[in-house]
Amino acid sequence: MLYLLIDLDRTLWDFDGNADRTYKAMFEQFGLEQLCHVDFNTFHERYRQINDVLWEAYRNGTVTKEQLSLRRFSYTLAAFGCDSNSPDIIRLSLRMADYYVIEGTKQTGLMPGTRDLLEWLSKQKDRFSLSVITNGFSEAQIPKMRTSGIDRYFSHFFLSEDLGFMKPDRRFFEAVIHQLNVPASQCLVIGDDYRVDIAGAQSVGIPQVWYNPKSVALPAGMPRPTFEISHLSQLKALL
Ligand SMILES: [Mg+2]
């Protein structure tokens, strides 16, 4: 039995496409063009930069989930002239945070080949056990999988908020192996983020498949993943 440990966002669930749609609806819903005097693309690009920095800080434990949830919106509003300390802007940021998570989980876009791969794997239950490994917010990840109809393929859901550690922390992967009660060599991590998924798996000796659809360069000085693919359909040949 091979234990497949599969990342969710940007590996199975089309995070970027789904987030774009949600964000665009939010931008209109909250009248942000009028409030910030900025077009959607400029606002969204700035949000992405701010969100990436805050997520890194969240992974490192220097900001809390609540701070991340609020600040990614309040800091973006501040970047376009709003006072991020004013009660009105804090209230607006909180409403945006709720909207973004709730509406985001209603999106169903998947990465190319996701459903086909999961169907193929699920027909071989004696060969493969499927688990999700994700750092995303618990209240978003399970509903997302349910809405897009992929939750039923998985026997285990390993969420960082439940485990108390986030990828790439080796303790996240150790907790997964421990709960599955299998050796690292019997697992295979599949993920799109080299530093989060692949480096994390390497640190505990789990073989890895780097799903790299945009052909990002291997980070300098880092070891090659066990396998690299650019489309999920290529996974079948490896297994
Ligand atoms: Mg990912």
Q: For the segment 81-90, what is each residue's pLDDT rounded down to a tens digit?
A: 999 899 999 9
Q: Which band of pLDDT confidence, cut at 50, 70 and 90, is reported for residue 62?
A: very high
Distance 136 CA to ligand 1 centre (A): 9
Q: For the segment 199-232, what is each residue's pLDDT rounded down to a tens digit?
A: 999 999 999 999 999 999 999 999 999 999 999 9
Measure the CA–CA gap between 136 and 177, rounded to whole angstroms: 19
pLDDT of residue 104: 93
Distance 170 CA to ligand 1 centre (A): 17
Distance 39 CA to ligand 1 centre (A): 28
Distance 14 CA to ligand 1 centre (A): 9
How much is the mean pLDDT over the chain?
96
* CATH superfamily label, 2-14+110-238: HAD superfamily/HAD-like (3.40.50.1000)
pLDDT of residue 123: 97
pLDDT of residue 16: 93
Distance 125 CA to ligand 1 centre (A): 25
Distance 82 CA to ligand 1 centre (A): 31
Distance 20 CA to ligand 1 centre (A): 16
Distance 94 CA to ligand 1 centre (A): 25
Q: Which band of pLDDT confidence, cut at 50, 70 and 90, is reported for residue 10?
A: very high
Distance 126 CA to ligand 1 centre (A): 27
Q: For the segment 142-198, what is each residue's pLDDT rounded down to a tens digit?
A: 999 999 999 999 999 999 999 999 999 999 999 999 999 999 999 999 999 999 999
| DSSP secondary structure string for all residues of the chain | -EEEEEE-BTTTB-HHHHHHHHHHHHHHHTTHHHHHT--HHHHHHHHHHHHHHHHHHHHHTSS-HHHHHHHHHHHHHHHTT--TTSHHHHHHHHHHHHHHHHHHTT---B-TTHHHHHHHHHT-TTTEEEEEEE-S-HHHHHHHHHHTT-GGG-SEEEEHHHHT--TTSHHHHHHHHHHHT--GGGEEEEES-IIIIIHHHHHTT--EEEE-TT-PPPPTTPPPPSEEESSGGGHHHH-
- Mean pLDDT value across residues 61-89: 95
CATH of 15-104, one of 1.20.272.10, 3.40.50.410, 1.10.150.240, 1.10.132.20: 1.10.150.240
Distance 83 CA to ligand 1 centre (A): 33
pLDDT of residue 237: 96
Task: Note whether 2-14+110-238 and 15-104 share their fold.
Answer: no
Domain residue extents for the chain: 2-14+110-238, 15-104
Distance 196 CA to ligand 1 centre (A): 8
- Mean pLDDT value across residues 113-141: 96
pLDDT of residue 185: 98
- Mean pLDDT value across residues 85-99: 95
Residue carrying structure tokens 């640190």: 203
Q: What's the pTM?
A: 0.92
Distance 134 CA to ligand 1 centre (A): 8
Distance 75 CA to ligand 1 centre (A): 24
Distance 146 CA to ligand 1 centre (A): 18
